[in-house]
A and B are shown apart, each in its own frame.
Chain A
Amino acid sequence: MPETMTAPEPVMDTQPKAQELSLQGALNLALDEILAEDPKALVLGEDVGTLGGVFRVTSGLAAKHGAERVFDTPLAESGILGMSIGLAMAGFHPIPEVQFDGFAYPAVNQIVCQLGRMNYRSRGTLPMPVTLRVPSFGGIRAPEHHGESLEALFAHVPGLKVVSPSDPQQGYSLLKAAARMPDPVIFMEPKSRYWQKGLVTSTESPADVSGARIARPGKHLTLVAWGAMVSRCIQVAELAAEDGIDIEVLDLRWLKPIDAEALATSVGKTRRAVVVHEAPRTSGLGAEVAQIIIERCFGTLKAPVERVTGFDVPYPSGDLEDEYIPNIDRILFGIQRVLEYKRG
């Protein structure tokens, strides 16, 4: 009888039409299928092998696909990213993981100066099909550097694409799509939603993985969000319905490129918009979203685009995180400001 009692979670061998999975499980399934379908795909990072990742997203993959293709690295994020770049130059499709968002900072040199530029520098001869998985955002009362929102930083870097799923289905579909892309994708997994369960269907339609999606249709105002804020905005929309306000929730999904058409279509209809994100306000992605809306919908907007965001402060300790992350009331306040705006 082995003393090691905890068996790795089984990885699905066959893929049923639809199954109930947590976001962790959906990402695990996507990685399993990517590794099975693409012989050049590799998973690497700290504790992704034997342990199966600190959030168990890579659980069982090393046992199934081999320790050469799913492997632990020494503890060095810059090393993980730099090595992924070299592996991509050698024809592999690396899917590195940095364990927590805050540990992407030590890798910024490789991400910004190298990963985002290699295709350009090599005049297209050295493409970088690298999907960097980053457990992201706050909400789990974790230590410092375990709750950061880096989307604006990465979106600002030329040569990087950025995406964040909001639920298990999005996690599955977007990760599979990202891994197929010939360019670097920063894949931001909302860690507070890892345990949320939902029905996951395998999908191959481009519409299912490109651009934004309407998470809840409505007619009076558009809430724009991504990652963990999508489910919170859906909650807010349900509450607003009690007050007779019909809110559309647009799950942006791709933070670079941003789906300007989807923003224009939604806000063109509702004529009011509030952007919600966990990241600090100043130079946050909300400003970019607001500007796109202004460019497309200036003539029909009933009020300036409102932002409900984190503050310009380091992400606080767990005890204060409910003060920091946009909560339901703060989002409702933002909506009210837009609703009661009077011109002149």
Chain B
Amino acid sequence: MVDPVAPSDLVELYRLMTAVRQLDLAAISWQRQGLVPAYAPELGQEAAQVGSALAVDVCRDFVFPTYRELGVARACGVDMVEYMSTHKAIWHGGLWNPAETHVAPIQAVVAGSVLHAVGWAHGQTLDAHGEVPEAGYNVAITYLGDGASSQGDVHEAMNFAAIFKAPVVFFVQNNGWAISVPTEKQVAGGSVAARGAGYGIPAIQVDGNEAAAVLEATRRAVAHARAGHGPAIVEAMTYRRGPHATSDDPGRYRTLDEERADGGTDPLVRLRERILAEAAADAAALDAADASGKAEAEAVREGIMALGSRPGAEMFDLVFQEPTDELLRQKANWQEETDHA
């Protein structure tokens, strides 16, 4: 029913994870260089993000990310310059086409899009008139963190999903920290997956730093939803190795010793060791993937440097499909004053 993780999967995971690592590190340095005003690093979450994203098929499924999902977006084929445009403060949500890529825009309210995933998923069952199609339902996957799990919307989403038997996967990256607040002060009981029992939703907690384990668990969850059995929860236990965002100073709330102890072994190092141990690829191939990741990050940097502002008129043009007269009047006035001044 679910494809076992093959040696080729491991290599593909590595190829994507090393690219994501390079992009993530580069994005932090871009902020330091003044190229982007802010960035929310996902360092340490590469296995959780890439492993889960590889389990969905964006030709048919739909992905609802948070603002810390560079790895998911990259694995889903989102153009990385268009992705970074939101961090360059060009356009809230990013410049990629969510309708075509099946990756929803970035939005900043934690848990804000979890219910959207449930709605999209329910739409798939409505379209199928309750008959599970031969190829199964299209599946929504929604990303949330341990912090977001505190929001009431997450309860509503899980309850709705179970009630409507919606084909949605709740993918929780429990990365240990919501800005300065650790999971033990955030998640009563210590596990978001444990809540699944209350809703009758099958849930699994997985080592989020073990890419293959994440891929396999998410494949199972997606298969469950696809087959018409309703929602599933995957909680990937991982670690936010970096700051909450580039202006955050983790030294105010955790020590380096704690970071090192709790961060465990780098997920990229673990995957590399496994690939070499299982001879899925040789070191030269992995080194080549690393080099390719670095080159990609450099190309994205050039793309971001070249990325210009959006015209101010778009502020007005993109509010509605059918703009109001008052909005058009404001736009005309804005244009006149801009030109005249």
> Across the interface, which residues of A come within 8 angstroms of B67, CB to CB?
143
Q: A52, A317, A318: which has the most chain B beta carbons within 10 Å?
A: A317
Question: What are the residues of chain A within 8 A of B326 when measuring CB–CB?
Answer: 282, 312
CB distance A50 to B252 under 8 Å?
A: yes
Q: Is A94 interfacial (CB 8 A cutoff)?
A: no
A2 and chain B: residue at smallest CB distance: B255
When distances are taken between beta carbons in the complex, the residues of chain A under 8 Å from B130 are none
| Segment at the B interface, from A4-12, A187-195, A199-207 | A4-12
Considering only residues 1-27 of chain A, those with a C-beta below 8 Å from chain B are 2-6, 8
Contacts of A330 in B (CB 8 A): 337
Interface of chain B, main secondary structure: loop
Complex Cα distance, B108 from A281, in Å, reads 24
Please, which residues of chain A bring their CB within 8 A of the CB of B324? 312
B109 close to A105 (CB less than 8 A):
yes
Q: Is the CB of A324 within 8 A of B256?
A: no
Q: A320–B252 contact, CB under 8 A?
A: no
Interfacial chain B residues near A281, Cβ < 8 Å? 330
- Kindly state the separation between the CA atoms of A142 and B245 in the bound complex, as whole angstroms: 12
Given contacts A319-B90, A333-B341, contact A6 B251 (CB under 8 A): yes
Interface string of B307-341 (1 = CB under 8 A from A): 00110101110010000101100110010011011
Q: Count residues of B near A (Cβ-Cβ below 8 Å).
A: 52
- A145 contacts B by Cβ under 8 Å: yes
Which of B37, B106, B315, B341 contacts A324, CB < 8 Å? Answer: B315
User: Is A46 within 8 A of B251, CB to CB?
Assistant: no
**Cross-interface CB contact of A51 among B252, B312, B337, cutoff 8 Å:** B252
A329 at the interface (CB under 8 A from B): yes
Chain B residues within 8 Å of A105, by CB: 109
Cα-based distance from A233 to B26 in the complex (angstroms): 40
Residue of B nearest to A312 (CB): B327
Could you tell me the distance in whole angstroms from the C-beta of B292 to the nearest C-beta in chain A? 30
Query: Is A227 part of the binding interface, using a Cβ–Cβ cutoff of 8 Å?
Result: no
Q: Are B179 and A47 in contact (CB under 8 A)?
A: yes
Identify the closest chain A residue to B307 (Cβ): A319
B103-124, CB < 8 A from A: 106-110
B182-224 vs A: 1/0 string, CB under 8 Å?
A: 0001110000000000000000000000000000000000000
Q: Which of A51, A54, A75, A102 contacts B147 (CB 8 A)?
A: A75
Residues of chain B lying within 8 A (CB to CB) of residue A127: none
Contact B181 A72, beta carbon cutoff 8 Å:
yes
Closest chain-A Cβ to B105's Cβ sits at a distance in Å of 9
* A-B CB contact pairs (8 Å), 19 listed: A3-B257, A6-B249, A6-B251, A46-B181, A49-B180, A51-B252, A74-B181, A75-B148, A78-B151, A102-B109, A142-B38, A143-B38, A144-B107, A145-B107, A311-B315, A311-B334, A313-B316, A333-B337, A333-B340
Residues of B within 8 A of A (CB): 37-38, 67, 86, 88-93, 106-110, 147-148, 150-153, 178-181, 185-187, 249, 251-253, 255-257, 309-310, 312, 314-316, 319, 324, 326-327, 330-331, 334, 337-338, 340-341
Q: A51-B179, A144-B93, A282-B326 are in contact. List 20 more A-B contacts (CB 8 A).
A: A2-B255, A3-B255, A3-B256, A4-B255, A6-B252, A46-B181, A51-B180, A51-B253, A74-B185, A74-B186, A75-B186, A79-B150, A102-B108, A105-B109, A143-B92, A281-B330, A311-B327, A313-B315, A333-B337, A333-B340
